[in-house]
Structure 1
Amino acid sequence: MTFRELLEKYKNQTATPEERKQVEAELEKYNALTEYLLEQDVDMEGEDLAGQQEELQKIHRSMKKRGRRIIAIAVVIACVVMGTLTAFQPAISKVIWYDPTERDFQQFAYDIDCHMAVLTELTMPEVQVESILPTEQGWGKYGLQVQQRDWSTGEYTWLNGTATRGKIELNHNAYKYSSMNVFSRGTKPFVDVDGEHSVITPSADAKAALADLPEYMYMEAYVSLGRDWTMEELENFAAQQEGYLGWVGVRISPEDQQLFPLMGFDADSSGYVWDNVDEAYPFYELSMHEDVPLAEAWEKHFLALLQYSIDHGDFYARLNQSNRHGATCQMVQEYVTENGVKTYGFLYYGTPAEMRTLLEHEDVEGIYVTDYQLRVPGL
């Protein structure tokens, strides 16, 4: 009989006493083996848990070491980056933001000198920009010192400004535009030339006022014309005068429309000679074209100033008071290309006698004196 059949009789209580002893002896053996195996499993599990815990501790220690290395590397990288930014800050700043110390056109002057010289000549009759000195102040910021010369007195004025991350802020006194009514026909009239509130003195009254003045006076005056002159007519007139022809106003819009500021050019070739600029914009420098008829040179000079302003519109857009200069010059260029470069008046410098001679011309209808000086001969 098998043990399974014997166990079945034991469960059914049909086994003999001998068979019962045999089954119980086997069961006793089975219980002993079970307890032994259970004890072995517990010991093995304990060893496994201890091993796993030790492995986890190794991993934790490794991660802490790695974390410390990562932090140390990050600190080193941060120090290197900050050191690099500090060392190369000027170069990085110049790449990101506008740099007023650029020298593309001339080696002895900054580009900003030429940019401001063009703006001043076109729109500011009584002054000339001599130079601009930029000083780096870090991270896209520069201090600016603008030197202007007064045409009448010859005196120099220094004005401060800043260029901060591309935006240029100049002292408001740097923008010396002319008044709207200094010419009788320069813009849409606000005050009639013969009106009692006009700043313009008609020719007959001006000659009478000048008659008793000493000849050691030297005056600056806006001269108004009764009709527009071509550049040839202006050249012929200037050749017959003893005084000095200064800034020339150019008709830049129909007479019944308002466009401000007034625009024109300096008839003389004084100031710095920027030959590289003239190569890029022919007739920018009048003194370099003395073999060309003066009327033609004046016309091409004015057009060169306009083209320069259009091409560098991004610079003028940075200025606090001239951000539409480039766009305005584009409109003016279109107008004068269609209608020609003509003048309605100009600035003139001379003695009372020279002013009286000027007022004899039939097209001169009045003057507006803005400045005078005493110039004693020999002193």
Structure 2
Amino acid sequence: MNFKDVMRRYKEGTATEEEKEFVEKELEKFATIEDYYAEELPDEFMSDRESENEEELVSSQSETTNINKIVNRRLGKVVLVSVLIVILLYVGIFYGLSNIVDQFYFDPTEESQSNEEGLTNIDFQFDMDALISLNMPGYVNGSFTIEESKGFGTYETGYFLKNLFTQNDTLHFVDIKRGIPQNFYGGIFDSIPRFSIDEAFRDIIRPFPEEASDQSVDIKEEFKQRFNSKTIEYMEELNDLSYVSMTIAFEEDLNMSELYQLTEEHPELDFKWAGVRTVEPGTRWRDDQPMHLIGFVPDINAEPSSNMEPDSDKYPLFNLNDIFFDAGNRSPKEILSEGYQTHFTSRLSWLKDHEKFVEIFDYNAAKTEFYADALDYVEDNGVETYGVLVYGTAEAFSESLESLPYDRIVIDEVDSSKPSVKIYYD
């Protein structure tokens, strides 16, 4: 009897009574065997299976540990490479891109090649030397300058402005952000260092028109004489030891030889600044521009002594205190009268050649053109002075005024005595 066929008929309900009895007996037999193996399966078999499972687990854990180590090593390499890439990108952006940005703006840390091979000097020091001595009567660039790059066209700068009358040496800071000055107070940006002596040189700044009537000219001269008389009377009332700052406008321009002779005739007076003629007498630089007063410091001891200088072939005698280095057998008059002219034109040339600095630190953007025109004028006409700034005691002035070729005199400042040297920080 085929059990498979009988089983099919049993499920379909077509099996005979005999076939049903046969299937049920077989099913009962299989149930008995199943119960037997479920109850009697040896513990050893289960122990062996558990051992095999534990070995598989230990093996699996070992493989997992190894995989984790490999993953961690690779992850560490990825992290390290990522960090290095970030660092390189930062360095590249900060120094590479920053340097590119710096190229488009004024850089106070720029250096010029010295005549001595291998030596360089910071241009900002010379920028300040020239700007202050030419444009700010009674002041010089004292001590040293400060310049530090902050990246991307941003800089921190500083300079010492020395007042030659009071001897105060004040430190001023200026931040420069992509060609624009920021966080600056006083110093060269103050009106006092630039315009304090304008009163004496009124005729230079605002020339009297040629078409003025004789009556207008007479009134002007009368006012001038009366003002001069009041100034002399005031000075005579001062204590003889009073220290006086005075600006003197000359009747006629003096050449450098005549200026030197004047200083020799009055050794008791300190000539601290000489204004230089830069346009034809009686005219202004431009009708739509103010007349700028520029000059130089004839006192070789006024500025701090320094061995720093720009290219002496292009800017000879930039430092006036170098004047006697190549004196030869010439007389002091020859040396100084020629040296004044060379010194002034060197510093004027320097400012003409450094337009970015002038545009930031000078008070008028058109000064770059003015410096160029002024240089052309003095090269054609020589260096002549229309007036000076002089320091001395009231007694020294009283004794010297009659022999000074003045057209107008103005007292700018008076102190009880000649100040001692001091240093101040703003």
Report the TM-score when normalising by structure 2: 0.63
**Does 2:253 match 1:245?**
no
Match among 314, 326, 336 for residue 378 of structure 2: 336
What is the deviation of 1:78?
Answer: 6.8
Select which of 189, 192, 195 maps to 1:178.
Answer: 195
Q: Alpha carbons of 1:201 and 1:110: their partners in 2 closer, same or farther (altered >3 Å)? A: farther
Instruction: Return the offset for 1:346.
Output: 0.3
Q: Which amino acid aligns with 2:204?
A: G
Matched residue of 1:277: which SS? Answer: coil
Find out whether 1:289 has 2:306 as its counterpart: no
Alignment counterpart, residue 310 of structure 2, candidates 262, 277, 281: 277
How far has the Cα of 1:247 moved from its partner? Answer: 0.5
Deviations 1:111-131 (A, max 9, x none): 212102101111110221223
> Where does structure 2 lack aligned partners over 5 or more consecutive residues?
1-78, 209-216, 286-290, 328-333, 421-426
SS of the residue 2:111 aligns to? coil
Work out the CA distance in 2 between the residues paired with 1:320 and 1:223.
Answer: 25
Please tell me whether residue 100 in structure 1 is matched to residue 100 in structure 2.
Answer: no
Task: Give the drift of 1:234.
Answer: 1.1
Residue of structure 2 in register with 1:55 after alignment: none
Q: Which residue of 2 aligns with 1:62?
A: none
Counterpart residue type for residue 310 of structure 2: V
Equivalent position to 1:264, from 295, 302, 305:
295
Q: CA deviation at 1:200?
A: 9.1
> Do the aligned residues in 2 keep the contact of 1:219 with 1:352 (CA within 8 Å)?
yes
- Conservation of the 8 A alpha-carbon contact between 2:106 and 2:178: yes
Residue 160 of structure 2 corresponds to: 147
Look up the match of 2:131.
119
Q: What pairs with 1:156-175 in structure 2 (closer than 5 Å)? A: 156-169=169-182, 170-171=184-185, 173-175=187-189
Residues 233-284 of structure 1: CA deviation (Å, up to 9, x unaligned): 1111110101101100011112322343201000112323345326241121
In structure 2, relative to structure 1, the CA distance for the partners of 1:377 and 1:221 (3 Å cut) is closer
Does the Cα contact within 8 Å between 2:252 and 2:386 map onto a contact in 1? yes
Partner of 1:293: helix, strand, or coil? helix
Separation (CA, whole Å) in 1 of partners of 2:179 and 2:307: 25
Which one has more relative contact order, counting CA pairs under 8 Å at least 6 apart?
A: 2
- Quickly say closer, same or farther: Cα 1:320–1:343, change in 2 above 3 A: closer
Q: Following the alignment from structure 2 to structure 1, what is the Cα–Cα distance between the partners of residues 350 and 362? A: 19
- 8 A contact 1:187–1:256 mirrored in 2: no
Amino acid at match of 2:321: S
Letter aligned with residue 250 of structure 2? L
What is the deviation of 1:189?
A: 3.7
Retained in 1: the 8 A contact 2:157–2:174? yes
Secondary structure, counterpart of 1:158 in structure 2:
strand
User: What residue identity is the alignment partner of 1:251?
Assistant: R
> Per the alignment, in what secondary structure is the counterpart of residue 201 of structure 2?
coil
Residue pair 1:186, 1:249 contacting (<8 A) in 2 also: no
Which whole-Å CA distance do the structure 2 matches of 1:79 and 1:313 have between them?
39
**1:363/1:332 CA distance change after superposition, 3 Å:** same
1:85 aligns with 2:119: no
Contact 1:359-1:366 within 8 A present in 2 as well: no
Instruction: State the Cα distance separating 1:201 from its structure 2 match.
Output: 3.7
Cα distance change, pair 376–347 in 1 and its aligned pair in 2 (3 A): closer
Q: 2:252 aligns with which of 222, 227, 237?
A: 227
Q: Is the 8 A contact 1:186 1:345 kept in 2?
A: no
Give the whole-Å Cα distance in 2 for the aligned partners of 1:376 and 1:232.
Answer: 29
1:374 and 2:405 correspond: no
Alpha-carbon RMSD across the aligned residues, in angstroms, is 3.4
Cα distance change of structure 1 residues 330 and 97 upon mapping to structure 2, 3 Å threshold: closer
Q: Deviations over 1:179-203 (max 9, x none)?
A: 533225433347986565x79941x
Superposed displacement of residue 325, structure 1: 2.8
SS in 1 for 2:370: helix
Amino acid corresponding to residue 125 of structure 2 in structure 1: D
- Residue 244 and residue 376 in structure 1: after superposition, are their counterparts in 2 closer, same or farther (change >3 A)? closer
Aligned residues: 305
Unmatched tracts of structure 1, length 5 or more: 1-71
CA–CA distance in structure 2, aligned partners of residues 145 and 121 of structure 1: 17
Given that residues 223 and 368 in structure 1 are in contact (C-alpha distance below 8 angstroms), is that contact kept between their aligned partners in structure 2? yes
Match of 1:128 in 2: 140
Provide the identity percentage.
22
